[in-house]
């Protein structure tokens, strides 16, 4: 049985690698701080065994399914056929994943978590299956084994937070906290928006028939999330546009949207205005804002209609942060009470827009390389393109952003390897002291996310 | 006499270089597959000796002439003066090409093909001239010496394909095939468009007075190209816009264009609609589509008016693939019968748009770094920015895209060096097994282009 | 006391570093040519001692103040509090500058110019203070010690050039020359524009009530600048738009602007038209044009209103050079009498637009990595992204662009290190001869700027 290279993703130059290895040894000792991700809280509330390797590793992972679809495999097969046959399909196409981050995450999971050969074969399905029924592979046992210190989930504004409540009242001493992601009530382009707004009103006993009442309802849900441990909000918008309309304009816009006589501009304006409203709320209640803009969601309509969201057909687009964020920043950008963490899928904005913005506005911080950027070379580019202007302290360290619970350690490990490599190069090039690099490696591993997300 | 470095363009780190050298040794054994280029088929049909070094290497190569023009040399001198004096001009300005890919391609040609010093001097003109008259420097002899397995030319929709017919009926057993590039009849902004459409009607005996008849005529020419060996089409458009209008709208648009009462929007719409029509034809007849968008052609009007197209005054612009291609992809993106190979001059689209699109749509593949991107560092960036999300199998290997027949081996050699270097880094960084890297090096060299262009 | 690494910013690979070190030894011997910067000519005319470390190194440097503001330090503290307490603030936040170019420039200044420890402490304030009162730390003594051969300042169209006159009539044999930066009279969006235009009329005795008279006045000021030694102009525009309107349209546009019945489009059109007018003047009088487009100035209005321009709240935006510059280039692009040096804050334009434009138009040259791009990795990217298509000779070498007089040597030193590293990699990779790399290193250090700016 093969293993994985202990020096994987460290730099080729021997002197640089040696320094990187030392930095990695130090950062590897730190626990995992996971302030942004998409693990379902029910997994930890129920603590039921994972059903099988396909349900755990293939079907929910759109990095995997999208690559297989691109290779000509029908999505229907992957989502509906027998788990064992889907696993066999994955194995047949394993070569397609060469040099992708998915491959690195899988190798880590297979080798380090399940103790099987890092290259999947049809037999691996059963080898993993044997392990999944054991108590030490149940979600809570893995949570403890992974040394997770805090895990934030992502939850809609009208989610019940029931799973979080169950975990909170349980003697198991983990910190699993929700994140307030109100896209369900903020994005009028979603077909379910009217129903979600109505449900918001019911949940909060607010009159959502007026914009003022709607804002009160949002505030009430934020308070409920804070009571459940939340320290942050998250916002997935098509663009980074913000607006600062006066109250009357807001009310008219909201009424148009409720009344179904609106167009795309109204929807975009509402989302833009809501970002500024949400920033105002953050100034009051202290929740850290996260903005994930720039994904063209559900690019292929018939795939969306048949299989729903998050099937790998979301494609990045150019994003204008400078003009987009300005109305919000004019009001709150220099206010130290606001914290707004920016992400991007448009790498051309790293050096041009994001580092210059975060390098002057005290309210802004930079989230790590996101989604398609979350690869060894992608994370390197993030550091190379932002550090000059924004330094390390305006970044928030790593967030794993994963749906795959067992991929969490692999993702943190990879990020720590990239950061160690980047820092080692700075040391060898005489741009940073070795002792300083050690400090930064540890800051990036857990101090920065803890501080950035107000977790301590 | 100097030679060229056998380790040129391999990485500096000794361990990485050693692995790269081994990978290159393997890929170097493979023949040259040339599925996209701009060699004139007459060159091989006639098999006449090349006239002289200037006609072969300077005048037709806009990489060379544009750099000399940028240095202050009048284009008129380069295109019309005595070949020997033009060669002397090139030699005087040789330093201007330092660290450009043109220099690498020239060094390879001078040293490896003509056996002269890699740095040109006035004497080199005669040294090359002496060789060009020998039988072993005639085009067909070089074709065989270069180990070209298949060479695709680029041909307008109304081209006669006479040269291809002459080669086909000749006992010489080479595979020289046309590529269907219908920009002449698809782009109404060209002054010669009405005449080209009329000629298309004559050639095919179709009534090009209606849009339906025009489409029939295009289909007929595709069939003629297929009969002449073509496996692919190519499309050079200012943008990546596509449309999916209904039949009546198409007819009205076509009539406006024929009737000369049209504007720029009509032209853009027609090109956009035609890409979708051509995709539909590809689904039927199996021709592989290539799209080369984003060049602002003939940026300097008076240069164009005096000297015509392809004089080096074409400048890249930002290109929107996500919104642009959507109408076409909504219809055919998930259809495995379509194959659409995308190129770009806008590197910011590699990671942001192209790899995510190719990483989910089975119909899409990524062409290699194009034109200004076809340099050692440019090809490295292509791999670094696309492999994470699209892997290797969604790329088509190398296409030389050259007008310069004798530059073909140099271009393939350089691409293989870059791929070997990229793969060697992955091996040293523990991201890919050494045996896997060998497989990929060979795939990239000839298996992928063969499969992508349906050549086998 | 610590020093700074003599090998700082040289590449990790030992063989490459050794070559880079040799190239740097050669380029380090060259004097400093400073054709573009923001040192105040009064500093050298008066030759008064610098007041203290905070006034010299903190308050005027928006790289420093913006980072401190981003860390939560109020700008008011930095600009108005006691110098010693501001210095203490800087020291407390020194870690925020890790791996930024500011840190490299400071280390060089503290260690090499002031002979103190490269990491600032509260004591450093006094250590620098002790030195600043000595004659050898007066501006002119430092100018000579720095081996500055020529220093260009930046001056508005209505500036008096009095300081330059004082230097010119002084026996001190330095070459301190103005640069004509007419943004004050070219940008109607500035509140002070009408007054500036009126003052321009007074200074030149031209009738600025008509566009023709306004142009005459501009020409007269250019002549005055040339008489004071200027060889160049500079233009800071929000975009790279140019226009080529006919004379009547120009007059009407100018009258609308004078009459206060204009909109944003008028202002943009005026700036665009003026770039073409200024190019026409350059063709006549030989002044080299520089264009610095793409900064969204004063992004945070209340900071601007309270503290004025250049406080670090200028953010880059995407810039379209291809369509923007076309009207100007249609007229003068191929004219060898024009020289237009282009800068960018949008790195995505390096390979896509700027290198292809400079690689064909004889009038165009590329300025070095600007502002946020002026870092080790940023300067590397500039070379990697432009050299393939534009070579070295279409670049102008380094310009320090600094407000900080004592940072001039640090900035040139860093640029020479990056160029030596880039060239050394080309040598090791067999892409450039060692002897050629030596020639290029020296060209980049002083020959190219001298020629590009017509200083010799």
Three-state secondary structure of chain C: CCCCCCCCCCCCCHHHHHHHHHHHHHHHCCCEEECCCCCCHHHHHHCCCCCCHHHHHHCCCHHHHHHHHHCCCCHHHHHHCCHHHHHHHHHHCHHHHCCCHHHHHHHHHHHHHCCCCCCCCHHHHHHHHHHHCCHHHCHHHHHHHCCEEEEECCEECCCCCHHHHHHHCCCCCCCEECCEECHHHHCCCCCCHHHHHHHHHHHHCCCCCCHHHHHHHHHHHHHHHHHCCCCEECEEECCCCCCCCCHHHHHHHHHHHHCCCCCHHHHHHHHHHHHHHHHHHHHHHCCEEEEEECEECCCCHHHHHHHCCCCCCCEECCCCHHHHCHHHHHHHCCCCCCCEEECCCCCHHHHHHHHHHHCCCCCEEECCCCHHHCCHHHHHHHHHHHHHHHCCCCECCCCCCCCCHHHHHHHHHHHHHHHHHHHHHHHHCCCCCHHHHHHHHHHHHHHHHHHHCCCC
Instruction: Classify residue A42 as left (phi > 0), alpha (psi -120 to 50) or beta.
Output: alpha
pLDDT tens digits, residue range B292-340? 999 999 999 999 999 999 999 999 999 999 999 999 999 999 999 999 9
The contacts of residue C368 (CB under 8 Å, 6+ apart) are: C374, C379, C382, C395, C396, C397, C398, C399, C415
pLDDT of A35 reads: 98
pLDDT tens digits, residue range C191-236? 999 999 999 999 999 999 999 999 999 999 999 999 999 999 999 9
CB contact under 8 A, C360 and B66: yes
* Closest residue of chain C to A12, computed from CA coordinates: C13
* Closest residue of chain A to C418, computed from CA coordinates: A429
Q: Over range B195-223, report the average pLDDT.
A: 98
How many CB pairs below 8 Å do chains A and C form together?
Answer: 126
Average pLDDT, chain C: 97
Q: Over range C127-156, report the average pLDDT.
A: 98
Share of chain C above pLDDT 70, in %: 100
CB of B35 within 8 A of CB of B42?
no
H helices present in B259-336, as ranges: 264-285, 301-307, 321-324, 326-332
Residue A356 contacts C, CB cutoff 8 Å? yes
pLDDT of C441 reads: 98
Residue C46 scores a pLDDT above 70: yes
Query: A193: how many CB neighbours lie within 10 A of its CB?
Result: 19
Q: Over range A211-219, report the average pLDDT.
A: 98
pLDDT of C456 reads: 85
d(CA C386, CA B104): 16
pLDDT tens digits, residue range A303-359? 999 999 999 999 999 999 999 999 999 999 999 999 999 999 999 999 999 999 999
Three-state secondary structure call for residue B233: strand
CB of B118 within 8 A of CB of B106?
yes
pLDDT of C1 reads: 62
Residue C14 scores a pLDDT above 70: yes
CB of B182 within 8 A of CB of B281?
no
Burial of C82 (0-12, 13-18, 19+ CB in 10 A): exposed
pLDDT tens digits, residue range A78-125? 999 999 999 999 999 999 999 999 999 999 999 999 999 999 999 999
Three-state secondary structure call for residue B177: strand
d(CA A230, CA A168): 12
pLDDT tens digits, residue range C75-121? 999 999 999 999 999 999 999 999 999 999 999 999 999 999 999 99
CB contact under 8 A, B329 and A299: yes
Q: Over range A392-417, report the average pLDDT.
A: 97
pLDDT of A1 reads: 63
The contacts of residue A420 (CB under 8 Å, 6+ apart) are: A10, A20, A21, A23, A24, A27, A441
Residues 370-429 of C with CB under 8 A from B: 384-385, 387-394, 425-426, 428-429
The four Cα atoms B138, B143, B144, B145 give a dihedral, to 10 degrees, of 80
0.95 exceeded by pTM: yes
Residue A209 scores a pLDDT above 70: yes
pLDDT of B260 reads: 73
CB of A120 within 8 A of CB of A95?
no
User: Which positions in chain B touch A376 (Cβ < 8 Å)?
Assistant: 388, 429, 431
User: Which positions in chain A touch B351 (Cβ < 8 Å)?
Assistant: 347, 372-373, 378
Burial of B263 (0-12, 13-18, 19+ CB in 10 A): exposed
Ordered DSSP codes for A137-205? GSHHHHHHHTTEEEEE--EETT---HHHHHHHTSS----EE--EETHHHH-TTSTTHHHHHHHHHHHHT
Residue A419 scores a pLDDT above 90: yes
Residue A2 scores a pLDDT above 90: no
Query: C182: how many CB neighbours lie within 10 A of its CB?
Result: 22
Residue A429 scores a pLDDT above 70: yes
Beta-bridge partners for C150: C33
Query: B353: how many CB neighbours lie within 10 A of its CB?
Result: 28
Read off the pLDDT band of B48 (50, 70, 90): very high
Greater model confidence, A165 or A263: A165
Residue B142 scores a pLDDT above 70: yes
Residue C119 contacts A, CB cutoff 8 Å? no
Beta-bridge partners for A340: A289, A364
* Closest residue of chain B to A2, computed from CA coordinates: B433
**Of B353, B290, B294, nearest in space to B319 by CA:** B294
pLDDT of C338 reads: 98
Which phi and psi angles does A76 have, rounded to 5°?
A: -55, -45
Q: Classify strands A289-293 and B32-34 as parallel, antiparallel or unpaired.
A: unpaired
CB contact under 8 A, C355 and B347: no
CB contact under 8 A, B391 and A96: yes
Q: Nearest CA to CA, how far is C74 from chain A (Å)?
A: 9
Residue B7 contacts C, CB cutoff 8 Å? yes
**Of C230, C236, C237, C235, nearest in space to C179 by CA:** C230
Burial of C264 (0-12, 13-18, 19+ CB in 10 A): exposed
Average pLDDT, chain B: 97
User: Angle, nearest 10°, between helix axes A101-108 and A408-428?
Assistant: 120
Residue B1 scores a pLDDT above 80: no
Which chains sit next to C, with 3 or more Cβ pairs under 8 A? A, B
d(CA A112, CA B13): 30
CB contact under 8 A, A323 and C345: no
Q: Which of B336, B430, B432 lies at the smallest CB-CB distance from A72? A: B336
Q: Over range C346-374, report the average pLDDT.
A: 98
CB of A355 within 8 A of CB of C328?
no
Query: B168: how many CB neighbours lie within 10 A of its CB?
Result: 17
d(CA B156, CA B158): 5
Q: Over range B128-134, report the average pLDDT.
A: 98
Structural tokens at position B362: 């089975």
Average pLDDT, chain A: 97
Q: Nearest CA to CA, how far is A344 from chain B (Å)?
A: 10
Q: Which of A336, A390, A430 lies at the smallest CB-CB distance from C7? A: A430
**Of B341, B436, B351, nearest in space to B398 by CA:** B341
pLDDT tens digits, residue range C294-350? 999 999 999 999 999 999 999 999 999 999 999 999 999 999 999 999 999 999 999
The contacts of residue C21 (CB under 8 Å, 6+ apart) are: C7, C10, C420
User: Which residue in C11, C12, C418 has the most chain A C-beta atoms within 10 A of its own C-beta, making it the best mutation to test that interface?
Assistant: C12
d(CA C67, CA A356): 10
Degrees, nearest 5: CA angle B115-B121-B122: 110
Query: A150: how many CB neighbours lie within 10 A of its CB?
Result: 20
Read off the pLDDT band of B135 (50, 70, 90): very high
Burial of C361 (0-12, 13-18, 19+ CB in 10 A): buried
Q: What is the 3-state secondary structure (H, E, C) of A290-337?
A: EEEECEECCCCHHHHHHHCCCCCCCEECCCCHHHHCHHHHHHHCCCCC
pLDDT of C261 reads: 79
* Closest residue of chain B to C337, computed from CA coordinates: B72
d(CA B150, CA B143): 10
CB contact under 8 A, A431 and C376: yes
Residues 292-321 of B with CB under 8 A from C: 296, 299-303, 312-318
User: Angle, nearest 10°, between helix axes C408-428 and C376-390?
Assistant: 50
H/E stretch holding A416: helix A408-428
- Window from A280-284, C143-147, C306-310, C356-360 with minimum mean pLDDT: C306-310
Share of chain B above pLDDT 70, in %: 100
């Amino acid at each position: 049985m093969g293993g994985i290279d202990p020096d994987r993703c460290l730099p080729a130059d021997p002197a640089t690698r040696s320094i990187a290895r030392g930095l990695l040894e130090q950062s590897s000792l730190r626990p995992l701080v996971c302030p942004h991700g998409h693990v379902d809280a029910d997994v930890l509330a129920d603590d039921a065994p994972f059903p099988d390797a396909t349900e755990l590793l293939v079907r929910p992972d759109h990095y995997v399914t999208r690559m297989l679809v691109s290779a000509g495999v029908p999505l229907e097969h992957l989502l509906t056929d027998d788990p064992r046959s889907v696993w066999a399909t994955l194995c047949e196409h394993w070569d397609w994943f060469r040099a992708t981050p998915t491959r690195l995450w899988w190798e880590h999971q297979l080798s380090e978590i399940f103790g099987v050969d890092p290259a999947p074969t049809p037999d691996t399905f059963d080898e993993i299956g044997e392990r999944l029924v054991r108590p030490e592979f149940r979600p809570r046992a893995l949570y403890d084994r992974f040394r997770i210190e805090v895990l934030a989930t992502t939850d809609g504004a009208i989610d019940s937070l029931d799973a979080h409540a169950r975990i909170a009242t349980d003697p198991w001493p983990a910190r699993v906290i929700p994140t307030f992601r109100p896209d369900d009530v903020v994005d009028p382009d979603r077909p379910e928006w009217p129903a979600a707004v109505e449900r918001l009103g019911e949940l909060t006993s607010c009159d959502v028939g007026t914009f003022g009442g709607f804002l009160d309802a949002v505030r009430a849900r934020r308070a409920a999330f804070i009571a459940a441990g939340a320290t942050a909000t998250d916002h997935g918008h098509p663009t980074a546009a913000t607006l600062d309309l006066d109250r009357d304009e807001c009310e008219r816009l909201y009424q148009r949207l409720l009344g179904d006589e609106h167009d795309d501009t109204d929807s975009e304006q509402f989302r833009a205005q809501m970002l500024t409203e949400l920033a105002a709320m953050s100034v009051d209640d202290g929740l850290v804002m996260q903005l994930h803009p720039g994904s063209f969601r559900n690019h292929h309509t018939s795939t969306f209609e048949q299989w729903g969201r998050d099937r790998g057909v979301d494609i990045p687009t150019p994003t204008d942060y400078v003009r987009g964020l300005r109305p919000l920043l004019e009001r709150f950008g220099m206010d130290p009470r606001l914290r707004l963490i920016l992400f991007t899928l448009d790498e051309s904005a790293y050096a041009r827009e994001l580092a210059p913005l975060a390098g002057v506005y005290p309210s802004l911080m930079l989230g790590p390389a996101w989604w398609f950027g979350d690869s060894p070379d992608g994370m390197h580019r993030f550091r190379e393109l932002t550090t000059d202007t924004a330094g390390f302290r305006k970044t928030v360290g790593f967030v794993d952003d994963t749906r795959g619970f067992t991929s969490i350690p692999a993702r943190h490990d990879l990020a720590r390897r990239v950061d160690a490599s980047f820092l080692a190069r700075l040391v060898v090039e005489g741009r940073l002291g070795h002792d300083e690099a050690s400090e930064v490696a540890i800051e990036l591993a857990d101090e920065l996310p803890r501080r950035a997300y107000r977790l301590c």
